[in-house]
Amino acid sequence: MSKPVVSTDWLAKHLGEPDLIVLDASWYLPSSGRDALSEYLTAHIPGAVFWDLDAMSDTEAVLPHMMPDPTSLADRLGAIGVSDRDRVVVYDGSGVNLSAPRAWWQLRAIGHQPVWILDGGLGRWRGESRPLESGTVVRDTTSYVPHPAPDHFVVLEDVQALMEEGVQVLDARSRERFRAEAPEPRAGIRGGHIPGSLNLPFTELVTSDGTLRPPEELITRFETAGVDLTRPIITLCGSGVTACALLVALRMVGHERHLVYDGSWTEWGGRTDTPVAGGS
């Protein structure tokens, strides 16, 4: 399967196979009033292991949700029972691919190829009256051998240099945050956007049931946002999470030259020496 997503039908057919692991990668901003772990314990896809986004990030970093070094991530994967030999399907409960794409991208960054996102996530699975279970799932620990893949994440200095070379920067935040018409959810972060960057909110990539829009509609969304799909792209968001949802859509339309700015707006907007457009 070359697509980054699998259908609920596909997962239902293969669920329970010994080399297939399902990860519930749900995560929400504190302001949402939702508790991902509590929701997981109440109801999740049978056999799904909880992927704690914060625990699977660099816990020593000042910025939120930074990619950990490959060995650290591999150790954490082994601890929850995931090996580099397993097929992996990740999902979340947001209905808009909020956090599952981040887990997908992190796995790809350490060389995990058989990994997909459940199209429509938990919402579509539940809407089709498919089975759910409660409680926690604990798998036997195992070993994970990472094979780090280059060119997945970039840092601030890379963004600045690559923009000078003509690489496009695409922001997944809401239009209101992009224009500094709504406050940032994190204290001390300026409003606005990187000068010259483009905006396509990640919530516009899915239909009402949470499944990705057809490729022709995705292409239209990208082009309407000013994106040239023949050129490389750097994506960002608030903390590098929903930026990965843009990558899922890019993969769906055949675009493969893309990177994530891992520090994202929390880093850029939190500094005083970086230029900001549309805000203060």
How far apart, in Å, are the Cα atoms of 230 and each of 110, 194, 233, 255?
26, 21, 9, 8
**123 and 20 share one domain:** yes
Whether residues 215 and 169 share a domain: the answer is: yes
Provide the number of structural domains found in the chain: 2
pLDDT class of 110 with cuts at 50, 70, 90: very high
The reply to whether 104 and 39 lie within a common domain is yes
Residue 1 pLDDT:
46
Looking at the fold, whether 162 and 81 belong to one and the same domain comes out as no
Mind giving me the DSSP string for 244-265?
HHHHHHHHHTT---EEEESSHH
Shared domain for 185 and 264, answered yes or no, is: yes
pLDDT above 70 for 279: no
The pLDDT of 42-57, averaged and rounded, is 98
| 252 in the same domain as 162 | yes
Cα separation, 38 vs 136, in Å, equals 10
Distance between CA atoms of residues 207 and 199, nearest Å:
19
Span 151-167, average pLDDT: 95
**Helix-strand-coil split of the chain, %, nearest 5:** 30, 15, 55
Catalytic residue among 48, 237, 246, 247: 237
* Residues 84 and 174 placed together within one structural domain of the fold: no
Residues 236-263: what's their mean pLDDT?
Answer: 97
32 lies in the same domain as 108: yes
- Same domain membership, residue 186 and residue 77: no
Cα separation of the two ends of the chain: 45
* CATH number for 162: 3.40.250.10
Which pLDDT score is estimated for 214? 97
What pLDDT, on a 0 to 100 scale, did the predictor assign at position 208?
A: 95
Residue 31 pLDDT greater than 90, yes or no = no
Question: What local confidence, expressed as pLDDT, does residue 2 receive?
Answer: 74
DSSP SS3 for 159: helix
> Which residue intervals of the chain are DSSP H helices?
8-14, 36-42, 70-79, 100-109, 121-127, 156-164, 175-178, 215-224, 243-252, 264-268
At residue 203 the predicted structure's pLDDT band, cuts being 50, 70 and 90, is: very high
**Region 232-245: what's the mean pLDDT?**
98
Evaluate whether residue 182 is within a structural domain. Answer: yes
Cα(113)–Cα(125) distance, rounded to whole angstroms?
Answer: 24
Give percent of the chain above pLDDT 70.
99
Structural domain span for residue 26: 5-127
Same domain, 168 and 224: yes
Shared domain for 98 and 28, answered yes or no, is yes
117-128 mean pLDDT: 98
Annotated catalytic, 237? Answer: yes
Q: What is the mean pLDDT of the chain?
A: 96
The verdict on residue 73 lying in a domain is yes
Determine, yes or no, domain membership for 31: yes
pTM value? 0.96
Over residues 8-18, the mean pLDDT reads: 97
Residue 179 has pLDDT above 70, yes or no: yes
